[in-house]
Amino acid sequence: MNEFRIPLGDWVEAGIDWIKDNLAGLFDIVSLIFKYSYDGLEWILLTPPFYVIMLALIAIGWAVKNWKFAIGTAVGVALILGMNQWENSMQSLALVLFASFIAVVLSVPLGILAAKSNRASAILKPILDFLQTMPAFVYLIPAIALFSVGVVPGIFATILFAMAPGARFTELGIRGVDTEVVEAGHAFGSSPWRVLRQIQIPLAMPTIMAGINQVIMLSLSMVVIAGMVGAGGLGGDVVGALQGLDTGLGFEAGISVVILAIYLDRLSASIGKSRVSTATA
């Protein structure tokens, strides 16, 4: 209809081709790190008998939250076992834990940088807006182009999709710390690093942990989508159920995702509250 067209897609494709031609070695290294790290975490979760991991999950829930949460964890894990989704659930849990860890390691320092520098904040905001609003499926395209198929592109896409809330909440939390408290720290001769480490981060911890909680939840939401590029786990079962119109299998895999989501959500929220109580005590 319109003869004039902005070839944005062509530019992006050319950029991906340039990255593949000039940075292939770097992405090979990243792929190996991601693959072996994921395999190691998966080995930890799947090698012991299921009851060892089950008891560990229950014990963590009891220690971090309370006995009611521990009982709920036991019921949820038993349901996963009963549906024969244990292996898939542990594979998905390994992907979520690893991708969330990398996303937090990247996003929290970016949030601190944005809180300390208005210029950095102005640069990061449109980038984070882009990452947070881009449809999740779009991340799979460059992920496949750079890493082929398998668990690595799933991890890569999950990190990109999940890291924005970590940076945003960290910046919000640090900027929200009372300036008088920060000035008092400087007045007593504390270095900027010490003020950040001992004053700003502890006081901003409720907001930072809320961001980490969102990172984990977004990572888990990408499990199903990552299954489309061969990441396996629960996402693989959901994709297989969709292709074969297998409602039962899809529902079982979906319920397993819900159980993991509730466990990780309550756990991360409780850890955040306990750290806040420790910091303010």
Convert the chain into a string of H (helix), E (strand) and C (coil). CCCCCCCHHHHHHHHHHHHHHHCHHHHHHHHHHHHHHHHHHHHHHHCCCHHHHHHHHHHHHHHHCCHHHHHHHHHHHHHHHHCCCHHHHHHHHHHHHHHHHHHHHHHHHHHHHHHHCHHHHHHHHHHHHHHHHCCHHHHHHHHHHHHCCCHHHHHHHHHHHHHHHHHHHHHHHHHCCCHHHHHHHHHCCCCHHHHHHHHHHHHHHHHHHHHHHHHHHHHHHHHHHHHHHCCCHHHHHHHHHHHHCCHHHHHHHHHHHHHHHHHHHHHHHHHHHHHHHHHHC
* pLDDT value for 3: 66
Mean pLDDT of 85-101: 90
272 confidence band (pLDDT: 50, 70, 90): low
| Residue indicated by tokens 């963590």 | 60
* pLDDT value for 105: 92
Is 58 within the bounds of a domain? Answer: no
Quote the mean pLDDT of the chain: 84
Mean pLDDT of 246-252: 83
Is 252 within the bounds of a domain? Answer: yes
Would you say residue 137 has pLDDT above 80? no
The total number of structural domains that make up the chain: 1
* pLDDT value for 75: 92
Residue bearing the bigger pLDDT, 116 or 5: 116
Residue bearing the bigger pLDDT, 224 or 107: 107
Mean pLDDT of 154-172: 89
Would you say residue 277 has pLDDT above 60? no
Is 95 within the bounds of a domain? Answer: yes
Contacts of 160 (CB under 8 A, 6+ apart): 131, 139
CA 237/CA 243 separation, integer angstroms: 10
Q: Which domain holds residue 41?
A: 24-49+85-280
Is 267 within the bounds of a domain? Answer: yes
What letter represents residue 161's amino acid? F
273 confidence band (pLDDT: 50, 70, 90): low
Is 192 within the bounds of a domain? Answer: yes
Which range, of 82-96, 248-262, 264-278, averages the lowest pLDDT? 264-278
Would you say residue 107 has pLDDT above 70? yes
Mean pLDDT of 121-129: 89
Is 54 within the bounds of a domain? Answer: no
Tens-digit pLDDT profile for residues 192-219: 788 888 888 888 888 888 888 889 888 8
Mean pLDDT of 30-52: 89
276 confidence band (pLDDT: 50, 70, 90): low
* pLDDT value for 102: 92
Residue bearing the bigger pLDDT, 22 or 86: 86
* pLDDT value for 55: 92
Mean pLDDT of 220-239: 78
What global pTM score does this model have?
Answer: 0.85
Would you say residue 239 has pLDDT above 80? no
Is 75 within the bounds of a domain? Answer: no
Query: In this structure, what CATH number is given to the domain that contains residue 32?
Result: 1.10.3720.10
1 confidence band (pLDDT: 50, 70, 90): low
Is 15 within the bounds of a domain? Answer: no
* pLDDT value for 202: 85
* pLDDT value for 275: 55
* pLDDT value for 2: 57
* pLDDT value for 30: 86
